[in-house]
Chains A and B, each alone.
Chain A
Amino acid sequence: MQEVVLKIEDLSKVYRLGELGTGTISHDLNRWWYKIRGKQDPYLKLADVNDRSKAGGSDYVWSLKDINFEVKKGEVLGIIGKNGAGKSTLLKILSQITSPTTGEVKIKGRIAALLEVGTGFHQDLTGRENIFLNGAILGMTKEEIVDKLDEIIEFSGIAKYIDTPVKRYSSGMMVRLGFAVAAHLEPEILIVDEVLAVGDQEFQDKCIGKMKSVSNSGRTVLFVSHNLSAVQNLCSTCMYLKHGQIQEIGSTSKVIESYLSENKNVQLTGEIPADFYRQYTNGEAYFRKIVIKDSDENIIDKLAFNQPFKVALELEAIKDLKNVMININVGTTLGQPVLYAVDKKGPVYVGRDLNKGKHTIEAKFNTRLLPGNYSFTIGISYLANGSTIDWVENVYFISVDKVGYAKEGNYPWDDVHGYIEPDTNWNYN
């Protein structure tokens, strides 16, 4: 049996909501008064479960509650969950940036967290000087950095500019340099947060490759990401956090599957429940329903290849809305955006005025989606400044079949390249 290198017991974290300012001194004094009488912190009892879609009655929220798990040596654990599920809080506690409210974390070996690349870069110093500074901030000693300096510069791919102040760098170069330093850290436990979201494809591949080699060398990695394909690719086990609690932990493909299927119950009725997780909403309007229909008005979740479809939405405006625009985003189930559809007349984007009350909106799509699984995200925002009113992510799923629609032909191949088949005209001379 492999040795346990990270053990988390009954870990919880409470955050205070709202403005700090008035009231905090009185809360502090009150807390202190309870403490000297040997009683429990009175504000902890009030805390709500971390569910952002419901307005809680309390100013205090459990960002994490009763987390228990173990990680064995050499394991690569993926952590997934929606925004606000507590992933970042967990990382911050593990990397000692903030302390837990209750519970304990036990760690064996050196732990390093990579929550950002290039932390502490100083604009006026050269790339080389910043390698030393950044490396030291991440916990390397000077000798370690000197030993690996050539490797780091080589890995960053910006050897030519290494003696130029970093303020002259492009943001891409800065990220490369930062990751190059981080990649040469050699802790027993490495925590990585979404750093892969930046940089071009070549660079991302390089990062994934580096992380794979880290885990192959027997070190432990905790990887937090929204990028499900990267998690699938890298992690042997996966943890799904929901509302600050562990929803599921186990083999990666199983956990990802149940994470995705969570949203599928919308599909049965088309109703978006009031407690459905919303990425962002300002409370001026809510999407209440979404269904996808074929041209005969049947509700469907499967399309034939080349089949046209309609997205039907029901929106409840809480107040009169002026100059707003609804957008429908189609993406892959692994989170890759595919297309962004908005209301347009000719070349002009159209803003609509919606009165208070319920509206039904239908958008007809003539897009030829290539076979595969797609997820729908809907949003409404102001046309003028783009500020979001309501945004509901991954709310509906469809799969596109290889069998052709009506008299159109089937999709003939096993491999599918890309997501959309555009209208093209071909000329041979």
Chain B
Amino acid sequence: MNAKQNWDLIIKPKASWHKLHLGEIMRYKDLLFLFVKRDFVALYKQTILGPLWFFLQPIITAITFTVIFGNLAHIPTDGVPQVLFYLSGITLWNYFSDTLTKTSDTFTANANIFGKVYFPRMIVPLSVVFSNLLKMGVQFFLFILVWVYYLMRSDQIHPNSVLLLVPFLIILMGLLGLAFGVIISSLTTKYRDLKFLVVFGVQLLMYASPIVYPLSMVPQKYKWIILANPTTSIIETFKYAFLGVGEFNWMHLAYSLVFTIIFLIIGLIIFNKVERSFMDSV
């Protein structure tokens, strides 16, 4: 026997933080695809309205916002038809918040499977990003329908070349949700308190994002608070591209990008560390 053997796998106590097993995730891409399919197909099984819920959720929310924030509270919408204004924010926001809340219980919700079989744990949150992207695609289509309708009926809407950035904005929003989600999911394995904070926190964060109000309405003094929220510039750019209102600022967008990258890296590192030991503390 050779003194030096070639081992295919060595299990050690500590994971090296820089090894994120990206190659391994590629090997399990079929599983990723099946998880996405499962989530998407199983979501509305045994419901009467089925996939119609994909449309109903944003529409009902947009109508509610129109009644409460538009008609009762008289919050301006930069001169854009109210329903369209709210719908644009909601479509993008839902992708972020759904991804965040669903990935944030990765470990606790899947403890059953994780306790029995090994596969790269990152597959699960990634599948959430993709299945929510599909859902977002459906809702985005709805938004486009409404947008085209208003585009033909009124001249308050001014789409422009920033539209080219839209795919990038959507990806950024998904990754941001993923970044927050994996950090929270890693921490909740030990400190369950965070679980209560998530739903509540996401709701609060929504009010700190320009969804029910335009950024232009925020007093200059407090604007930095809203801008510190990394979703703000993404949503504002999205609205600017489609509606021609709001602010478009490369610096703000760069801030969101850098923020996302940093948090995503932190998230991956923590997640990678926790996935090796969480079965002992879950």
Report how far A160 CA is from B59 CA in the complex, Å.
43
A101 adjacent to B13 (CB under 8 Å):
yes
**Residue from the list A16, A105, A113, A120 in contact with B10, Cβ < 8 A:** A105
Report how far A25 CA is from B38 CA in the complex, Å.
37
B279 adjacent to A124 (CB under 8 Å):
no
The chain A residue with its CB closest to the CB of B7 is: A106
Report how far A360 CA is from B124 CA in the complex, Å.
58
Task: Tell yes or no: A355 within 8 A of B by CB.
Answer: no
A100 adjacent to B13 (CB under 8 Å):
yes
The chain A residue with its CB closest to the CB of B42 is: A124
Report how far A335 CA is from B264 CA in the complex, Å.
52
Report how far A3 CA is from B114 CA in the complex, Å.
31
Task: Tell yes or no: A384 within 8 A of B by CB.
Answer: no
B1 adjacent to A1 (CB under 8 Å):
yes
The answer to whether residues A99 and B6 also contact, given A20-B190, A119-B113, A137-B113 and a CB cut-off of 8 A, is no
Q: Per-residue CB proximity of A1-36 to B under 8 Å, as 1/0?
A: 101100100000001100010001100000000000
Task: Tell yes or no: B141 within 8 A of A by CB.
Answer: no
Task: Tell yes or no: B116 within 8 A of A by CB.
Answer: yes
Chain A residues, CB < 8 A from B6: 108
A98 adjacent to B117 (CB under 8 Å):
no
The answer to whether residues A97 and B114 also contact, given A106-B9, A106-B10 and a CB cut-off of 8 A, is yes
Task: Tell yes or no: A403 within 8 A of B by CB.
Answer: no
Task: Tell yes or no: A300 within 8 A of B by CB.
Answer: no
The answer to whether residues A95 and B41 also contact, given A100-B13, A120-B113, A142-B30 and a CB cut-off of 8 A, is no
The chain B residue with its CB closest to the CB of A98 is: B279
Chain B residues, CB < 8 A from A107: 7-11
The chain A residue with its CB closest to the CB of B44 is: A124
A97 adjacent to B38 (CB under 8 Å):
no
Task: Tell yes or no: B281 within 8 A of A by CB.
Answer: yes
Name, among A106, A115, A142, the residue most crowded by chain B CB atoms within 10 Å (CB to CB). Answer: A106
Task: Tell yes or no: B276 within 8 A of A by CB.
Answer: yes
A97 adjacent to B116 (CB under 8 Å):
yes
Task: Tell yes or no: B12 within 8 A of A by CB.
Answer: yes
Give the size of the chain B interface in residues (CB under 8 angstroms). 38
Task: Tell yes or no: A132 within 8 A of B by CB.
Answer: yes
Report how far A66 CA is from B33 CA in the complex, Å.
41
The chain A residue with its CB closest to the CB of B39 is: A122
* Minimum CB–CB distance for A123 against chain B, Å: 8
* Minimum CB–CB distance for A173 against chain B, Å: 20
Chain A residues, CB < 8 A from B117: 95, 97, 113, 115, 119-120, 137-138
* Minimum CB–CB distance for A104 against chain B, Å: 6
The chain B residue with its CB closest to the CB of A119 is: B116
Q: Is the interface of B mostly helix, strand, loop or mixed?
A: loop
A20 adjacent to B5 (CB under 8 Å):
no
Report how far A130 CA is from B9 CA in the complex, Å.
29
Chain B residues, CB < 8 A from A372: none
Chain B residues, CB < 8 A from A96: 11, 118
B280 adjacent to A16 (CB under 8 Å):
yes
A104 adjacent to B11 (CB under 8 Å):
yes
Task: Tell yes or no: A102 within 8 A of B by CB.
Answer: yes
A136 adjacent to B31 (CB under 8 Å):
yes
* Minimum CB–CB distance for B256 against chain A, Å: 32
B8 adjacent to A137 (CB under 8 Å):
no
Task: Tell yes or no: A328 within 8 A of B by CB.
Answer: no
B20-63 CB contacts (< 8 Å) to partner A: 28, 30-31, 33-35, 38, 41-42, 45-46
Chain A residues, CB < 8 A from B119: 137, 139
B34 adjacent to A136 (CB under 8 Å):
yes
Task: Tell yes or no: B262 within 8 A of A by CB.
Answer: no
**Residue from the list A16, A93, A97, A108 in contact with B115, Cβ < 8 A:** A97
Chain A residues, CB < 8 A from B216: none
The chain B residue with its CB closest to the CB of A95 is: B118
The chain A residue with its CB closest to the CB of B46 is: A124
The chain B residue with its CB closest to the CB of A100 is: B13
Q: Per-residue CB proximity of A108-138 to B under 8 Å, as 1/0?
A: 1111010110011010110001001100111
A73-115 CB contacts (< 8 Å) to partner B: 92-111, 113, 115
B66-100 CB contacts (< 8 Å) to partner A: none
Report how far A93 CA is from B6 CA in the complex, Å.
20
Task: Tell yes or no: B64 within 8 A of A by CB.
Answer: no
Report how far A395 CA is from B84 CA in the complex, Å.
76
Report how far A116 CA is from B42 CA in the complex, Å.
23
Chain A residues, CB < 8 A from B191: 25
* Minimum CB–CB distance for A169 against chain B, Å: 16
B8 adjacent to A108 (CB under 8 Å):
yes
Task: Tell yes or no: A258 within 8 A of B by CB.
Answer: no
Task: Tell yes or no: A141 within 8 A of B by CB.
Answer: yes
Report how far A94 CA is from B9 CA in the complex, Å.
11
The chain B residue with its CB closest to the CB of A12 is: B13
Task: Tell yes or no: B258 within 8 A of A by CB.
Answer: no
Task: Tell yes or no: B171 within 8 A of A by CB.
Answer: no
Task: Tell yes or no: B277 within 8 A of A by CB.
Answer: yes
A4 adjacent to B11 (CB under 8 Å):
no
Chain B residues, CB < 8 A from A101: 13
B113 adjacent to A133 (CB under 8 Å):
no
Report how far A119 CA is from B119 CA in the complex, Å.
12
Task: Tell yes or no: B15 within 8 A of A by CB.
Answer: yes
Report how far A136 CA is from B280 CA in the complex, Å.
25
Report how far A99 CA is from B118 CA in the complex, Å.
11
A104 adjacent to B10 (CB under 8 Å):
yes
The chain B residue with its CB closest to the CB of A11 is: B11
A102 adjacent to B34 (CB under 8 Å):
no
**Residue from the list B7, B38, B279 in contact with A92, Cβ < 8 A:** B279
B113 adjacent to A97 (CB under 8 Å):
no
**Residue from the list A15, A25, A140, A142 in contact with B280, Cβ < 8 A:** A15
Q: Per-residue CB proximity of B115-147 to A under 8 Å, as 1/0?
A: 111110000000000000000000000000000
The answer to whether residues A99 and B276 also contact, given A104-B11, A119-B117 and a CB cut-off of 8 A, is yes
A-B contact pairs, 21 of them (CB 8 A): A4-B5, A15-B280, A92-B115, A95-B118, A96-B11, A97-B117, A99-B11, A99-B277, A100-B13, A105-B11, A106-B7, A106-B11, A109-B8, A113-B118, A119-B117, A120-B117, A122-B38, A125-B38, A133-B34, A133-B35, A136-B31
Q: List 12 extra interface pairs beyond A4-B5, A125-B42, CB under 8 A.
A: A96-B118, A99-B15, A107-B8, A107-B11, A113-B117, A122-B42, A124-B41, A124-B45, A125-B38, A133-B34, A137-B31, A139-B119
Closest A-B pairs by Cβ, 8 of them: A136-B31, A96-B118, A105-B11, A99-B276, A106-B7, A142-B30, A107-B9, A98-B279
